[in-house]
Amino acid sequence: MKTLLAGICLILASVAGAQKPYDDSIRQYVADYVKKHEVVVEQDKKYFRFFPPDEAYRVAAKVKKTPNSKWFTMETSGTVRKTFRQYAILEFSIHDTTVQLPVYQSQGLMTSEEYKNHLFLPFTDLTSGESTYAAGRYIDLSITDVKNDMVTVDFNKAYNPYCAYVTGKYNCPVPPKENQLEVTISAGEQNYAKPHD
């Protein structure tokens, strides 16, 4: 019996040890994100909130490219609309549910050498308006992240648009209805804890 318990403890310890580097990497990612944030500064940084790291929300997604997609105007929180086109549909499974989530290219960013490969993944989920920002969250990807028609989507790196902190100053893209997930994503940035106008 002692040998069995020792074996179980060893297995659990090895699993915990395997997860720790990932958890630490997410904690470092969050620390860097908070430190470099351009809108929330100084003492207000204490109002950031994040879910604990959870590797179950780091998923491998199939990339189904949509090369003939037309440019369209994406609604924003302000008066300025932004032009995007669908780059691909990402397909993955989360909570035993198969999800299809479009990912986009920004017409404006494609003219920049630094951001020409940038992919924009906006989404809402069943936490939106509850524990996370009601208008949705974003994830940044790159065309260079796509390997053999697969890409890793890490919802632990989901972040709020600037509009979550300041009202009326920014034109934050609103996730299209195709990006409204009927699953719970308890990962990434939560609601900002300081009320704003």
- Residue 167's domain comprises 49-179
What pLDDT does residue 98 have?
A: 96
Compute the distance between CA of residue 154 and CA of residue 170 in angstroms, rounded to an integer: 25
Closest CA to 137 of 91, 187, 182: 187
- What global pTM score does this model have? 0.88
Model confidence pLDDT, tens digit, residues 8-18: 444 444 444 45
Q: Which residues have C-beta within 8 Å of that of residue 171, sequence separation ≥ 6? A: 76, 77, 78, 79, 80, 81, 82
> Residue 193: inside a domain, yes or no?
no
Strand partners, 92: 99
Specify if 82 maps to a domain.
Answer: yes
In a domain, 31, yes or no: no
Q: Are 120 and 136 in contact (CB under 8 A)?
A: no
Specify the number of domains making up the chain: 1
Residue 167 in any domain: the answer is yes
Beta carbons within 8 Å of 140's beta carbon, 6+ residues apart: 118, 119, 120, 121, 157
Identify whether 77 is part of a domain. yes
Residue 159 lies in a domain: yes
In a domain? residue 136: yes
Q: Which one is predicted more confidently, 102 or 197? A: 102
Q: Residue 111 is encoded by which pair of tokens?
A: 């003219």
User: 21-67: per-residue pLDDT in tens?
Assistant: 999 999 999 999 999 999 999 999 999 999 999 999 999 999 999 99
